[in-house]
Amino acid sequence: MTALATPGLLALDRAAQDLLFRAARTANTFTDEPVTDAQVAAIHDLIRYGPTAYNGQPLRVLLLRSSAARARLLPHLSSSNRAKTAAAPLVAVLAADVDFHERLPELYPHRPQARDWLGDRAARAEQARLNATLQIGYLLVGVRAAGLAAGPMAGFDAAGVTREFFPDGRHETLLVMNVGHPGPDAWRARLPRLSTEDVVRTL
């Protein structure tokens, strides 16, 4: 890895680098060990400090713990995602609250008029999606910070999940994420990553 050639450039120690990124993997199987509400609260208490535009914090998390709730989700997942989601200790539906701006007078108190800048729903929904997705990035790091593995899934019918779980019309589903301790054969070999030269250009 390139970092071996550049020691000392990261302030984060190697154990934490491994926990959060280098050794962490997306899990496709999990043990039966539960993920408790206290763990979820500890993860949220960590990652809620991550920045969002206007401090708007649009991410909303719906935990599906009951088998009845889980059963409502499964038909909206791609067939390859159903069995592992049915068996995961915890399933989180991650959505953006498009009406996050209603709380800006409290969350962004030095500029309470920010609520009114976000009056246009389409522009606000774009901001909600962008910032809630940033927060999902923080959340995935937070799940790993708790010693757990995440299994984020793109293969699902987002509009269907939104209709099923957020009939209020103010939320947009972004991702479904399984969470737990990795089980047997939880992942395949690490897939290739792009190089810095592939990703970063300089002007």
Residues between 15 and 54 with contacts to its own copies, criterion CB under 8 A: 15-17, 19-22, 24, 26, 37-51, 53-54
Q: Is 53 exposed, middle or buried (0-12, 13-18, 19+ CB in 10 A)?
A: middle
Residues in region 78-107 near its own copies by CB under 8 A: 103, 106-107
Nearest Cα residue to 36 out of 161, 176, 181: 181
Q: Are 165 and 72 in contact (CB under 8 A)?
A: yes
- Least Cβ distance, residue 20 to its own copies (angstroms): 7
Would you give the binding string for its own copies spanning residues 141-170, x where CB under 8 A is met?
xx--xxx--x-x-x----------x-----
* Residue among 61 and 87 whose Cβ is closer to its own copies: 61
Q: Are 151 and 145 in contact (CB under 8 A)?
A: no
The token duo for 185 is 């054969």
Nearest Cα residue to 94 out of 30, 42, 40: 40
- Least Cβ distance, residue 35 to its own copies (angstroms): 11
Amino acid at 116: D
Contact with its own copies (CB under 8 A) among 77, 88, 128, 140: 140
- Least Cβ distance, residue 43 to its own copies (angstroms): 8
Contact with its own copies (CB under 8 A) among 88, 174, 176, 186: 174
